[in-house]
């Protein structure tokens, strides 16, 4: 597999919060997994949103605002730079930030949604969102109040574009996982699918993830250096 030229390879890259850490965005399982004393599971569920929409809107409003203070780092830029060199290249990110787009990545799936989008629970329209959302916000399509939510995949909800992702995993020659703890499914299971498809599988992470033993190769260190080293 490693003897194949890049131009002959089909690659799937999975990224997680660790790739954006050096841009200044916190990962989920930092600080004992707490965000302002709340566990991510307490704010990232549909039940939490039903119970306390102000808390959940606040969580996403702050993270949306933080996007204007950060920029892509060397790892995001490297992935955009190498994309055209492969026969096919799919970047699947669990991240809801927009740093891959800003780095120039093209074939990109945000499997857990996007901070810069909202969705109406009534008319299901998805649209761009830069400002804060609240229970008072009004849907621009159906004109109802209190029906807008962040376009984010919460625990218990189906990640986006799973058919496209699974098809690419079943056809790829190389699967590279970057900056993810391997604790959240279905993304944590992608390495197993890629292995079963006969792909070469590589982990690039600060430390050994929960899925480390499944990868054929692992390189540990900050994404800004391990991603550059691996793809050079
Ligand atoms: C660096 C670095 C640097 C630091 N350089 N590296 C029991 C068993 C199996 C599954 C389940 C189960 N019980 C429930 C489930 C399902 C559940 C799940 O997986 N739960 C687990 C907690 C057990 N999953 C779901 O509910 C998903 N939906 C689902 O399963 O639907 C059914 C289905 C069935 C069949 C097929 C398909 C679907 C939905 C999951 C939604 C996840 N949502 C969140 C929050 C929303 C987005 C947001 O607000 O941003 O997504 S949770 C949170 O975790 C977020 C992340 O995308 C996700 C993954 O986190 P990530 O990216 O790995 O971050 P960290 O912080 O965990 O790790 C960072 C890593 O980087 C660390 O390893 C660091 O070392 C490293 N790092 N600095 C390189 N500089």
> Residue 1 pLDDT more than 60?
no
Sign of the dihedral through C-alpha 146, 149, 155, 161: positive
| Catalytically active residues, by annotation | 112
With a Cβ cut-off of 6 Å, ligand 1 is lined by 16-18, 21-22, 27-29, 40, 44, 94, 96, 112, 152-159, 162, 179-181, 183-186, 205-207, 209, 222-223
Residues contacting 227, CB < 8 A, separation 6+: 19, 74, 75, 78, 79, 178, 204
Residue 177: per-residue pLDDT: 99
pTM for the model stands at 0.96
Beta strands in 85-173 (DSSP E): 88-93, 108-110, 113-120, 126-128, 148-152
Pocket test for ligand 1, best of 185, 211, 222, 224 (most atoms within 8 A of CB): 185
> Residue 40 pLDDT more than 90?
no
Residue 46: how many other CB atoms lie within 10 Å: 14
Mean pLDDT of 197-201: 98
> What is the pLDDT confidence band of residue 18, given thresholds at 50, 70 and 90?
very high
Given 3-state DSSP classes, what are the helix, strand and coil percentages for the chain, each rounded to the nearest 5?
A: 35, 20, 40
């Amino acid at each position: 597999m490693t003897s194949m030229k890049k131009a002959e390879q089909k690659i799937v890259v999975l990224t997680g919060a660790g790739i954006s850490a050096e841009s200044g965005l916190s990962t989920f399982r930092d600080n004992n997994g707490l965000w302002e004393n709340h566990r991510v599971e307490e704010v990232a569920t549909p039940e939490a949103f039903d119970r306390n929409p102000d808390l959940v809107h606040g969580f996403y409003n702050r993270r949306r605002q933080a996007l204007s203070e950060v920029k892509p780092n060397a790892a995001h830029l490297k992935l955009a730079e190498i994309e055209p060199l492969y026969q096919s290249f799919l970047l699947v990110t669990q991240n809801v930030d927009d740093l891959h787009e800003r780095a120039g990545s093209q074939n990109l799936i945000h499997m857990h949604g996007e901070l810069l989008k909202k969705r109406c629970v009534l008319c299901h329209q998805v649209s761009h969102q830069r400002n804060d959302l609240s229970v008072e916000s009004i849907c621009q399509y159906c004109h109802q109040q209190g029906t807008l939510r962040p376009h984010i995949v919460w625990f218990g909800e189906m990640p986006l574009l799973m058919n496209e992702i699974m098809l690419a995993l079943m056809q790829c020659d190389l699967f590279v996982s970057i900056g993810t703890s391997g604790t959240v499914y279905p993304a944590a299971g992608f390495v197993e699918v890629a292995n079963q498809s006969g792909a070469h599988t590589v982990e690039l992470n600060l430390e050994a993830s929960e899925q480390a033993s499944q990868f054929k190769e692992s390189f540990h260190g900050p994404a800004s250096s391990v991603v550059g080293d691996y793809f050079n």
